[in-house]
Amino acid sequence: MLIDYLGVREINGSLIVLDDVEGASFEEVVDIRLDDGTMRQGRVVQMEGKRIVVQVFEGTRGISLDNTRTRLKGHPMELALSPELLGRVFDGAGRPIDGLGDIYPVARANINGTPINPVSRVYPKNYINTGISSIDTLMTLIRGQKLPIFSGSGMKHNELAVQIARQARISDEGEEKFCIVFAAMGAKNDVAEYFRRSFDESGVLQKVVMFLNLSNDPIIERILTPRCALTAAEYLAFELGMHVLVIMTDMTSYAEALREFSSSKGEIPGRKGFPGYLYSDLASLYERAGMVRGKSGSVTQIPILTMPNDDVTHPVPDLTGYITEGQIVLDRSLDNSGVYPPVSILPSLSRLMKDGIGEGYTRADHSALSNQLFASYAKVMDARSLASVIGEEELSPTDKKYLEFGRLFEQQFITQGANENRSIDESLDLGWRLLSTLPREELDRVDEKLLDQYYRPGQKEA
């Protein structure tokens, strides 16, 4: 029963209201054909009896009260899935834009997904070696984790994400099981191009699925972009058994699109105008990371978000931090002083690392070492703030040692080249070498046995 509904009753932002619609279902997809022949897609977002509210993905420009024909598609928004996805490029709503034609679907899936039963989840324990000292040692990335990068405009989050994607190695399985899903939401054209080029240069382009909603693409499609990407990721992971790394940039643009959409629906705004359900909405994306019992694949997420005004209490980073399992925070002053990657150690954290490191995973001393590095670096900060008041000269000898440790730590441990791939042993040994510049009694997080084994004062830095 394919009925075209002529005209609309009301247009408001990206929403159109239709009257006397029979048999529509909630969140159903509709096709809208304008008189000039252009086709648009939309989705039912609210219904009241026979009146439905449709969100038009491409926007309502050019739509008048009676120049449209609307047709119900009879199913919610779906993505066509097949192993051919790898190496393809799609727009934000999952349509191919690389000129290679449509995907021949092996399966179709609702892009909203369904929640993983908590009972079926496998608690993630296998670490991913990124080859970046600060991340591997202090905020280890675990397979099946969601670990966002909190950044700000102008900082090197894209470079860091590319480096992680290029160097990420899974210890026990081959390369062929590894792939990347890249979702750009409101990203600048050159950013998307940078990612594409970097993937190309490192020869992984055939292992990448890209969903691009660029900053001049319709805002409403932006809400679909991460959902399409994650649906593809879930298919690759749980049907084809691959280890999928999902990189999503930029979550702040996504949240702003959601806000725009919410306010056009006339919803009551919460903090900073964002809708009250922002937490649930973000969770419905982030929680799609994980591993499932009985399936060999995994979905690991690295969402990137730019904090407006570098403010970590802004609703988007704030809510993200409550959902994700840790965060990698980039710091502008480190960035300005030429430290790459500019990872701010103290606020960064990986919640899952405690069970994925140590004996059998990385090395037995890993946990103690990373605790000690955190604690010592926290003291560096104290010493620095004291020095800024009374001057470095007046500091106690121990505090001066801390300042020196802080300098070495930032220049040798955090800093590394964009192509430098350090093994976990290299990173851990470097950590011990730096700790050895501090007096032994200051290392109160490490027990004596480890100190005997690794504490080597007086060694000069190479």
Partner 1 sequence: MNEQNVIYGINGPVVTVRNSHSFSMTEMVYVGEERLVGEVIGITSELTTIQVYEETTGLRPGEPVVGTGSPMNVTLGPGILDNIFDGIERPLKAIEEESGSFISRGSSVSSLDENREWAVTLRVKPGDKLNGGDIYAVCPETPIIEHRFMVPPALSGVVESVKPDGNYKIHDVIAVLRDENGNTHDLTLCQKWPIRTPRPVKERLQTTLPLITGQRVIDTLFPVAKGGTAAIPGGFGTGKTMTQHQLAKWCDADIIVYVGCGERGNEMSQVLEEFSELVDPKSGRPMTDRTVLIANTSNMPVAAREASIYTGVTLAEYYRDMGYHVAIMADSTSRWAEALREISGRLEEMPAEEGFPAYLPSRLSEFYERASMCVNLNGSDGSVTIIGAVSPQGSDFSEPVTQNTKRFTRCFWALDKALAYARHYPAINWTESYSEYFIDLDPWYTEHLGEDFVKYRRRISQLLQEENKLMEIVKLIGSDVLPDDQKLIIEIARVIRVGFLQQNAFHQEDTYVPLEKQREMMRVILHLYRKARQLISASVPISNILQTGLFDKLVKMKYDIPNNRLDMFDEYTAEIDKLLADLVAA
C-alpha 300/C-alpha 413 separation (Å) is 25
Nearer to partner 1, 207 or 314 (CB): 314
The minimum distance between CB 369 and partner 1, in angstroms, equals 12
Burial of 39 (0-12, 13-18, 19+ CB in 10 A): exposed
The minimum distance between CB 283 and partner 1, in angstroms, equals 3
Burial of 123 (0-12, 13-18, 19+ CB in 10 A): exposed
The minimum distance between CB 289 and partner 1, in angstroms, equals 8
The minimum distance between CB 274 and partner 1, in angstroms, equals 9
310 Cβ contact list (under 8 Å, min separation 6): 152, 332
Nearer to partner 1, 18 or 210 (CB): 18
Nearer to partner 1, 34 or 451 (CB): 451
C-alpha 370/C-alpha 99 separation (Å) is 48
The minimum distance between CB 203 and partner 1, in angstroms, equals 32
Nearer to partner 1, 279 or 455 (CB): 279
Nearer to partner 1, 65 or 322 (CB): 322
* DSSP codes joined into one string, 398-448: HHHHHHHHHHHIIIIII---TT----HHHHHHHHHHHHTTS-GGG-TTS-H
Query: 381 — phi, psi (to 5°)?
Result: -60, -45
Segment holding 219, helix H or strand E: helix 219-234
Nearest to 180 by CA among 82, 283, 89: 89
Query: 404 — phi, psi (to 5°)?
Result: -65, -45
Nearer to partner 1, 89 or 282 (CB): 282
Residue 280: both structure tokens together: 């649930």
* Paired strand residues for 72: 30
The minimum distance between CB 99 and partner 1, in angstroms, equals 33
Nearer to partner 1, 24 or 183 (CB): 24
